[in-house]
Structure 1
Amino acid sequence: MTRTLKPIILKTSLLALAISGIANAEPLEEVIVSGELRSIEQLRLANSVSVITEQLIEVRNAKSLEDLLNLAPNVNFSTGASRGRFIQIRGIGERSQFVAPSNPSVGIIVDGIDFTGLGMGVTTLDTAQVEIFRGPQGTLYGANALAGMINVVGNAPDKDGGGKVSAGFGNYGSYDVGGNVSIPVGDSAGWRMAVQKNVSDGYIDNVYIGRNDTNNIDEVSFRNHFSFDISDQLKVDLISYIIDIDNGYDAFSLDNDRTTLSDQPGHDRQQTNAHALKTAYSGLGFADLQANVSYADSQVEYGYDEDWTYRDICTIDSSCAYWQYSTADNYLRENRNKSADVRLLSKENDGGMQWVVGVYYRYQQVALERTYTDNAPDDDFYSDDYTPVFYTYSSEYITKNAALYGQVDFPLADSLTLVTGLRYENFDAEFKDSDSAVFGPSENLFGGKIALELSLSDDTLLYGLISRGYKAGGFNAEPRVPQNKREYDTELAINYELGMKGDWLENSLLAQVSTFYQQRKGVQVNVSEAEAVDDFVIFLDNAAEGYNTGLEVELTWLATDALSLSGSFALLNTEHEEFLNVSHVDGSPAEPYDMSGRDQAHAPNYQYYVAAQYDLLSNLYFRVDMEGKDGFYFSESHEERSDSIDLLNARLGFDVGMLSLAVWAKNLTDEWVETRGFYFSHDFGNDPRKFYAAEPYTQKGAPRTFGVSASYTF
């Protein structure tokens, strides 16, 4: 605990020293959370949720979801791609995906459209706010929200019309352009359109092929929103997204730096067409009716140079001759999902019972085409006219989720409310592949919550929460997996939480504090099993139990009319219990080793974010912030950890009428950031010059970046 608390105390001193008095601060605006069953004030919600506003997104100069995740306590992510595609909340979440189907732990909803598993495509285009729910959301979202849920809310059409154009550029060949426009259509309809393009050469220098853009960013997003007030009682919204991502992927270096030797740099692409139709009808006498129907069609292609080098790195007369291999791997997934959510909500009333009841259905079809290329056949490795050998694999994975859910809020006294929620869900899956594997699991699942809300005053809420979440079981498609391990079971999580929320000092100080204990049963983890000294297989299995406990604090304080302070702080302790894993050690198969008591992967013991913004003049401000996290284990399969990080960012902004200008910098001290790591402990490294000696490799995040941005509002 000493190792955990000391960095928090030192690194949050900026906020602690500033808390010395209040002087003429203006009230903070009320924040409404829309991702709950009914819209509610953030500080009246008995749930841990961070809300990242449009203003914070702008001053953060954030272009994608991964640029925002470090702002929320106990939220982490893994790359293994051009963006942070895999998200962990309170230490729970996936870190990669290759052949096997995946049931995610963190759900992602964008304007009512299910983007779960497609986090790379979530940009900040025309975003009003991002809501990050922490802990099992068994009532709210079900099977894909064991760890939590992220709800992205776009801006609605402006009834008065108007718009905004923006542009910026920075080092590493980066630039962005974007804009939005709202046009009223008569008195009862509105239209809003937005577009954004984000480009960067990336931070990798490929010295073999002489390029510095093999890990580039090239992303275009388009959003369209029609809003219709059909009558006083009926409102309809039609929202569409078109996303085109063509990023490079050349991130791993044999020398563990940002210099690569790949002869076949990879790619990370996504094309998405997505639509949502949302209706709200208030004409029923006893309840309001809400319905949301969505459809998303995405093609995701992920490929990389598996050997991270070039074919003839070892010449025929070198010491490592005949050691090298040369392969490339490519995964093309077509992901189609349809969902429908219909709910009845009791009419708003003061102090009376409130209820919600709904039905939900989701259909998802994922078709995979994998192509594995061997560029170094043994019989003509050193031939100039060699013929690559291609191995192909295909699969189809269909899931159907049907759920009935409800929530009732019972007032027990003037200041005490009991909240109960329940969700019953049927999960049905069908899988088949080109290796003749066939699986068809089906199971009934349930989750829910019980919460007590105590309003100490109009500005202070205490709550206690017990929630239950679940993640469906699955199967391992790899035929080498032992027959008795081909399928794994459902994971369950029970969350016990105490929290306090409030807005004090005449609404100039907002705070959220929560402490939690989560018990996980049947923890789904990656394990490895040795078939021989030089052969092993990694697959998903269930550990018996795991425990995740922690503390989360969020503060926003307008200290004066000129000075605002904000921060988030988190402590997290995780461990496995009764978990045996197998690995190769010293070139021979090892006996199972007990990982009980060890931290879970991608679960840093502490995280923090502290920001201060000072208005030098009425139209000139300076902002500085720091973010950091403890080192964490990369995997359950080895003992390699990331280094802890502390990143310093700054921004100087100037407003002239409707024109805004800013100069910004991120990671000012140019720290090395590790976002994903491997350790080939199975008697297999990846560098033929070292005869494939086992060693760790890590993917690096962004170095120091800086630039300027401008926007004009009309």
Structure 2
Amino acid sequence: MRRVFTIGRLGILAATLLAPLVSNTVFASEEEPIQLDSVVVSAQKFRTDKQDVPSNISVVDSKTMQDSGVDNLEGLSALAPNIGISKIDTYSTQVVFRGIGGMANMNKVWNINMDGVAIPYVGLDTFLDVDRVEFLRGSQGALYGRNTHAGAVNIVTKDPGSSANGNVTLNYESFNTLKARAAVGSPINDVASYRMAVAYKRSDGYFHNEYYDKNDTNNNEQFTARGKVLLQADDKSKLTLGMYADKYESAFDSYGPANGDVTLNTENNRRGHNDGYLLSPTLTWEKDFGAVNVTSISNYSRSNYNYLQDWDFSRFDIMYSTYDEDFNTLSQELRFNGGSDEFKWMFGLFGLWERIDTKTNILFGDDAAASGMSPGDHAQQNSTVNSYIGSSFGQIVYRLFPSIELTGAVRFDYERKTLDWKNKTNLDYVPTGKLDMSKDWLALSPSASIAWLFAEKQRVYGSIARGFKSGDFNNVMVEVPLVEHAVDPEYTTTYEVGYKGRLLENRLELNAALFYIDWDNMQVDIESTEGMFNPYQKMNAGRAHSSGMELEARALIMPGWEVFASLGYMFQYEFDEFRKDATTDLSGKKLPFTNAYTVGLGTVFRTESGFYAGVDSSISGRKYLVEDNSLKQNAYMLLNAKIGYEKDNWDVYLYGRNLLDERYATTAFSGAKRAGEPLVVGVQCGYTF
């Protein structure tokens, strides 16, 4: 039975966490003033204080991730307002920013960047040896280009360090879950240094298959490795070679029976699989020529994602599918920047070649008659999509007056895509064929903002920005009529006003924002009379908008005691135009995978004697799991806690996630829901040097 939280629970938690801040008692020592550390980000493609960026950015650093025990995007989203997560399987994660981004995609839409590169890989949210994660909300096309119309996630990994350092961490959790991590960094000589990190995870998974009466039918295993070699002869030049490798294997048995409640029980007769790998080297060169700084980022990525999924979600052998995709990408970015505190400028060039090979197979089993088909019926597609992208972009930051700062940016993108597609089937009434297509698109993405620095470390700002999602072919479909028409890019325009400030002698950081987003030329599914297996065709036939507000605060009560809180609320988030078929008009329906509100509260407390305690809670408001709003997830609350002892170089913790054991859905597919993580308890020990 789903547990229902009360406002009383939240009030008690809030009072516990925030009372010390508003009381008349001052915990800080008069001899030693305390203040929050500044947070440096690279959201504007150069390093700057988070509070100086004219947009609302949430940042989670490595210390916060360690304290909270977060090691994936799903966990991090609870710490950032108006960020939603659609967890499709054990590894695939779709991010929804302020209501934008929750629609079904054709090929993957990558808006996750690692060390300045958008890497096409579904398992990228394994936060191994990460320095910080930045959530950029709203249209980001001016600096980041395609597929950032909703927002972007920047992951920045750790550098080697100026002296030998390292850590080892071992966790054991519920569901026979083992996690092991290790990292080491050190100078090699006066010029070179290195850092290496490895991680291993295995788990039985938290689902129980009633057909097999087993608890490990969604078991998974993952191995991740990362390395960096840094060459730096002086302060003006740096060359970094990074390597990221990952491989995972998982069963695919995580959806409960169709049209049922959210459950940890499945009935699938086919356990399925969900596997992937990545190899991605990156070469970064940074050079200070005095008046001009140059940054070059070169990357090659090879990744694979494949699965077998039971499509009828039952103990009967009716229908299942397999899918396989290979990504090969080669990208080059070259940036020039310079100026002074009063006038900063940047100009950049970007090029990308991307090849996607996909194979879809839809098959019918021994019980196919239940769906009007025959055993052995099947349909398949094989396709290759090549993309060629050339871009130029620039930005200026101009201090017009001591208290007025103007920022302007613009990006021009040219993209050409080619498609080589063919299908085959044993069904006489499904036409087969080959398609050889090409398409070109142009996109202009400007942004502008003005900020008023009305007091020391306080500012208000207003901004407008445009972003786009790339045009595409519907190549993953198995029927000719659903593939032979491309869709054009879709666009968003984000309007935002906000406040950023540090108060109480830098003990309190407070950020607030209001936003409105127009979403035009949406790529949506429209019913097609020519489709058999999935009778919907992608078309640019939708419009939507969203609006809302965000609040974030963090406060340092005393050395070792920090409190943080966030609130996101969506005023509106709905389709303005979307006629699904001749009789179904979805105008006015809520955008899927968008929480009506999000609330986060937490605190961490540690003493010089070594005692550590942390607790955080998040409330996710109601969200709809499908476009017609026929399936929904009601509001739920997740409560996490951690207690431990930290002494010298050793630490040990006992922790729990989802302590209220809430049942909630992360996504839905054909009426079947996938449950989120239930109550988990674990123990962690670590060594740092």
TM-score normalised by the chain length of structure 2: 0.91
Tell me, yes or no, if structure 1 residue 286 matches structure 2 residue 291. yes
- The 3 A distance-change label for structure 1 pair 309 and 377 is closer
Q: CA deviation at 1:77?
A: 1.5
Whether contact under 8 Å (2:380, 2:478) holds in the other structure is no
Q: Taking every aligned residue pair, what percent have the same amino acid on both sides? A: 23
Q: CA deviation at 1:8?
A: 12
**Structure 2 residue aligned with 1:270:** 276
**Structure 1 residue aligned with 2:661:** 670
Matching residue's letter, 2:353:
Y
Whether contact under 8 Å (1:230, 1:236) holds in the other structure is no
- The 3 A distance-change label for structure 1 pair 13 and 388 is farther
**Structure 1 residue aligned with 2:324:** 332
- The 3 A distance-change label for structure 1 pair 35 and 83 is same
**Structure 2 residue aligned with 1:698:** 673
Aligned counterparts, 1:602-617, within 5 A:
602-615=593-606
Tell me, yes or no, if structure 1 residue 525 matches structure 2 residue 528. no
**Structure 2 residue aligned with 1:433:** 421
* Distance in 1 (alpha carbons) for counterparts of 2:322 and 2:683: 37
- The 3 A distance-change label for structure 1 pair 201 and 393 is same
Tell me, yes or no, if structure 1 residue 54 matches structure 2 residue 62. yes
**Structure 1 residue aligned with 2:555:** 557
Matched position secondary structure for 1:66: helix
Matching residue's letter, 1:525:
V
Tell me, yes or no, if structure 1 residue 644 matches structure 2 residue 635. yes
Q: CA deviation at 1:18?
A: 4.6
**Structure 1 residue aligned with 2:505:** 506
Aligned counterparts, 1:265-414, within 5 A:
265-283=271-289, 285-311=290-316, 325-347=317-339, 349-351=340-342, 353-376=343-366, 388=376, 391-414=379-402
Whether contact under 8 Å (2:616, 2:641) holds in the other structure is yes
* Distance in 2 (alpha carbons) for counterparts of 1:113 and 1:483: 32
Q: CA deviation at 1:581?
A: 1.9
Whether contact under 8 Å (1:632, 1:643) holds in the other structure is yes
**Structure 2 residue aligned with 1:134:** 137
* Distance in 1 (alpha carbons) for counterparts of 2:466 and 2:553: 27
Matched position secondary structure for 1:244: strand
- The 3 A distance-change label for structure 1 pair 362 and 289 is same
1:91-119 C-alpha deviation (Å, 9 max, x unpaired):
1114555xx434x2x51111233224x24
Of 644, 651, 661, the residue aligned with 1:653 is: 644
* Distance in 1 (alpha carbons) for counterparts of 2:171 and 2:482: 55
Deviates more, 1:481-490 or 1:645-654: 481-490
Q: CA deviation at 1:378?
A: 6.6
Instruction: Give ranges in structure 2 of 5+ residues lacking alignment.
Output: 1-5, 424-433
Matching residue's letter, 1:507:
N
Tell me, yes or no, if structure 1 residue 45 matches structure 2 residue 48. no
Tell me, yes or no, if structure 1 residue 417 matches structure 2 residue 405. yes
Matched position secondary structure for 1:58: helix
Q: CA deviation at 1:439?
A: 2.9
- The 3 A distance-change label for structure 1 pair 449 and 9 is farther
Q: CA deviation at 1:145?
A: 0.6
**Structure 2 residue aligned with 1:317:** none
1:380-428 C-alpha deviation (Å, 9 max, x unpaired):
99xxxx9856543211111122100001122210111111101000011
Matched position secondary structure for 2:142: coil
Tell me, yes or no, if structure 1 residue 189 matches structure 2 residue 192. yes
- The 3 A distance-change label for structure 1 pair 9 and 215 is closer
* Distance in 1 (alpha carbons) for counterparts of 2:86 and 2:613: 31
* Distance in 1 (alpha carbons) for counterparts of 2:364 and 2:282: 43
* Distance in 2 (alpha carbons) for counterparts of 1:555 and 1:641: 30
Aligned counterparts, 1:192-203, within 5 A:
192-203=195-206
1:645-668 C-alpha deviation (Å, 9 max, x unpaired):
111111102102110111100111
**Structure 2 residue aligned with 1:632:** 623
* Distance in 2 (alpha carbons) for counterparts of 1:172 and 1:357: 51
Matched position secondary structure for 2:363: strand
**Structure 1 residue aligned with 2:612:** 621
Matching residue's letter, 1:303:
L
Aligned counterparts, 1:190-229, within 5 A:
190-229=193-232
Matched position secondary structure for 2:663: coil
Deviates more, 1:479-488 or 1:399-408: 479-488
Whether contact under 8 Å (1:513, 1:553) holds in the other structure is yes
Matched position secondary structure for 1:488: coil
Whether contact under 8 Å (1:481, 1:537) holds in the other structure is no
1:563-610 C-alpha deviation (Å, 9 max, x unpaired):
32102210112111132223xxxxxxxx42332222111111101111
Matched position secondary structure for 2:63: helix
Matched position secondary structure for 1:664: strand
Whether contact under 8 Å (2:519, 2:543) holds in the other structure is yes
- The 3 A distance-change label for structure 1 pair 12 and 267 is farther
- The 3 A distance-change label for structure 1 pair 515 and 243 is same
Whether contact under 8 Å (1:238, 1:276) holds in the other structure is yes
- The 3 A distance-change label for structure 1 pair 596 and 199 is same
Q: CA deviation at 1:59?
A: 1.8
Matching residue's letter, 1:113:
V
* Distance in 1 (alpha carbons) for counterparts of 2:410 and 2:189: 42
**Structure 2 residue aligned with 1:686:** none
- The 3 A distance-change label for structure 1 pair 89 and 125 is same
1:482-538 C-alpha deviation (Å, 9 max, x unpaired):
679933332111111111111111111112111111111112233434669x97613
Q: CA deviation at 1:13?
A: 5.2
Tell me, yes or no, if structure 1 residue 709 matches structure 2 residue 681. no
Whether contact under 8 Å (1:526, 1:637) holds in the other structure is no
Q: CA deviation at 1:16?
A: 5.2
Instruction: Give ranges in structure 1 of 5+ residues lacking alignment.
Output: 312-324, 583-590, 681-695
Matched position secondary structure for 1:437: strand
Whether contact under 8 Å (1:430, 1:440) holds in the other structure is yes
1:328-360 C-alpha deviation (Å, 9 max, x unpaired):
21111111111111011014x233x21000100
Whether contact under 8 Å (1:581, 1:637) holds in the other structure is no
Whether contact under 8 Å (2:330, 2:352) holds in the other structure is yes
Matching residue's letter, 2:644:
G
RMSD, matched Cα? 2.6
Matching residue's letter, 1:708:
V
Q: CA deviation at 1:121?
A: 2.9
* Distance in 2 (alpha carbons) for counterparts of 1:412 and 1:309: 65
Q: CA deviation at 1:637?
A: 4.0
- The 3 A distance-change label for structure 1 pair 170 and 360 is same
Matching residue's letter, 1:417:
E
Matching residue's letter, 1:354:
K
TM-score normalised by the chain length of structure 1: 0.87
Matched position secondary structure for 1:594: coil
1:27-84 C-alpha deviation (Å, 9 max, x unpaired):
1111100232211100111122111010111122123233212211111121221135
* Distance in 2 (alpha carbons) for counterparts of 1:8 and 1:434: 57
**Structure 2 residue aligned with 1:29:** 37
* Distance in 2 (alpha carbons) for counterparts of 1:483 and 1:246: 32
Whether contact under 8 Å (1:524, 1:542) holds in the other structure is yes
Whether contact under 8 Å (2:609, 2:647) holds in the other structure is no
Q: CA deviation at 1:553?
A: 1.2
- The 3 A distance-change label for structure 1 pair 378 and 166 is closer
Matched position secondary structure for 2:281: strand
